Structure 1
Amino acid sequence: MTEPAPSEKKTDADEEPQPTLLEQMGGVSGLIYSSVPVIVFVLANAFFGLTAAIWTSVGSAVAITVLRLVRKEPLQPAISGFFGVAIAAFIAYRTGSAKGFFLFGIYASLVYCGIFVLSVLVRWPIAGVVWNVLNGTGQAWRKDKPSRYGYDIATLALALVFAARFVVQRWLYQEDYTGWLAFAKIAMGYPLYALGLLVVVWAVRRSDKRLKALAETEPKPETDAEIEARLREKYAQTPEA
C-alpha cells in the first residue's frame, strides 16, 4: 500500500470538530446549572425565609460542582459559579435582605462594562486580546486597523451587554422586585451574552480573513536552499577573469 502524501494526511486537529458557541459556554447543561441556584434561592426564600434560601442556594451550587466532577465535565464553570453563589449568599446574609443576593452581580456588571470600554480607549480591545492570546496568533491583528476596529466593535458589544444588565437589574433592585431580579439575572445571563459573542465571532472571522489575505500578498522570505541556489546561479553566470 502506498502511503498518502504528507499534504493528504489528516492531523488530529483537522479531524477534531471545533466546539460550537453553545459548547464553549458550557452547553445546555451549563445554562441549566447556572440558573438552578438562583431559582432555588428565590423559591426557598418565598416558602421558608432568607436563611433557608441562603443555605439551599449554596448547597445546590455544591451539588452541581460534585455532579460535574462525577460526570467528568469541565469544572471551571461550576467552580466559578460556586464562588459567585457563595459571595451572593454572604451579601444577602450581611444585608439581611433577599435582594442582596443579586447585589454582587449587579455591580460586577458595572465593573466589567468599565473595563471593556477602557480597553477600547487604550487600543487593546479585550475581545481581540483574549481571543488571540488563547489561540496563540500573536499581535498581528493590532497592526491592521480594520481588524482592530472589528474587535473594538465586538468589545463594545460585550460592554453594552454588561451595561444593560446593570441598568435593568439595578432598577429592579431599587424597586424591591426580587422575583423579577431572578428572572432578569437568568434571561440576561447566557442568552444575552451569546448575542455579544456573535459579534465577537464576526470580528474574529473578519480579522482572520484580512490577515490571511495580507499574508498572501507579502513576499515570502527565501529559504537557505533558495539563497544558495540563487548565489550558485549568479556565480555561474559571472565571466572568469
Structure 2
Amino acid sequence: MDGASGTDDAAAEDQPTASALLGAALGNAARRAGMDPATAEGKSTGHVVWSAMGGWRGVIESVVPGLVFIVVYTLTIDPATQDGNLWLSLGLSVGVAALFTVARLIARQPVNAALGGLIAAGVAAAFAAFTGEASNNFIPGFITNTVYGAAFLVSAVTGWSLIGLAAGFLMGEGVAWRRDKRKRRVFFWLAIAWAALFAARLIVQLPLYFADDVAALGTLKLVMGLPLFAPLIAVTWLAVRALYPATAK
C-alpha cells in the first residue's frame, strides 16, 4: 500500500495553497531542528538526531521538569492516603522549567525550547491544580499525542504525508514527490510510523491514567519520550537521504 489518494498529477499541482504553506511550516521546523540536508551535509546521522533533540541542554530541558514532578510526588506519597504532595511537585516542576528559560534569557540564547517546556509544564500543572488530581498533569500530553497521531495518520492515508511535505519543501521540489511512487510509498510508511508512536503512547499510558497510577504513568511517559523519539528521527532522516542521494554526497 502506498497511501495514494487516486489524485492525478494535474490535481496534485492544483493544491498549492494549503500544501505549500504546510510544507513550508514543516520544512522550516525541520530546518530549525538541524535536519536540513543542505546544512547537515557531511554530518553523521547521530549528529543530526542529537541536533534535533537540542543537544544535552535540549534533552535536559525536555526531561528534567517531568522527572522532578514524578520523583517529588513519589517521594512524598503518604502511606495512609497513597497521595503525594501535589503542590510541591507541581511547584518544583514548573520552577525548574522557569529556571531553564531564565538561564537562556540571561545567556541571550534562543529560548524557544525552554519556553516551550515552561508552557507545557505550566499547562499540565494547571490541569492537575484545578482538579486536585495528580494524574491530570498528564492530560495535555494525551491531547498532544492524539492530535499529532491523527494528523500523521490522516496525512498518510490521504496521500499527503507530512514527512513528504516537509521533505519536498527542504529539497525544493514542492509536492512533485507525489508523482514518484517510491517516494510516496516511503513517505506513507514514515507517516504511519510516527502515527504508531503517538498511538503506542496512548495505548500504554491511558490505562495507567484511569488506574490513577501516577508513578508508573510518569515513568513510562519519560521512557516513551526521547528514547523512542530519537530512533524514529534517525530512521526518518536515513530514509529521506536514501530518496535524495545527491544531497548525501
- TM-score between both structures, scaled by the size of structure 1: 0.74
Report if aligned partners of 1:107, 1:166 keep a CA contact under 8 Å in 2.
no
Which residue pairs with 1:41 in the alignment? 69
The answer as to 2:209 corresponding to 1:173 is yes
Quote the Cα distance in structure 2 between the aligned partners of 1:186 and 1:135.
33
* Structure 1 alignment gaps of length 5 or more: 1-12, 213-241
Flag the structure with larger Rg. 1
- Displacement of 1:109 after TM fit? 0.8
Picking from 158, 181, 185, the partner of 2:194 is 158
Which residue pairs with 1:92 in the alignment? 128
Which residue pairs with 2:27 in the alignment? none
Of all paired residues, the percent bearing the same amino acid is 35
1:40-119 mapped onto 2 (5 Å cutoff): 40-46=68-74, 47=76, 49-119=85-155
- Displacement of 1:199 after TM fit? 2.5
- Displacement of 1:147 after TM fit? 0.7
Report if aligned partners of 1:141, 1:207 keep a CA contact under 8 Å in 2.
no
Amino acid at match of 1:22: W
Quote the Cα distance in structure 2 between the aligned partners of 1:195 and 1:188.
11
How many pairs were matched up? 198
After superposition, give the CA deviation of every residue in 1:34-82 in whole Å (9 maximum; x if it has no partner): 1111122123334371122222211111111122333454422212211
- Displacement of 1:95 after TM fit? 1.8
Report if aligned partners of 2:61, 2:113 keep a CA contact under 8 Å in 1.
no
Quote the Cα distance in structure 1 between the aligned partners of 2:171 and 2:102.
30
Which residue pairs with 1:235 in the alignment? none
- TM-score between both structures, scaled by the size of structure 2: 0.72
Return the structure number with greater relative CO, CA threshold 8 A, min gap 6. Answer: 2
Tell me the SS of whatever aligns to 1:197: helix
Quote the Cα distance in structure 1 between the aligned partners of 2:238 and 2:189.
10
Quote the Cα distance in structure 1 between the aligned partners of 2:155 and 2:232.
16
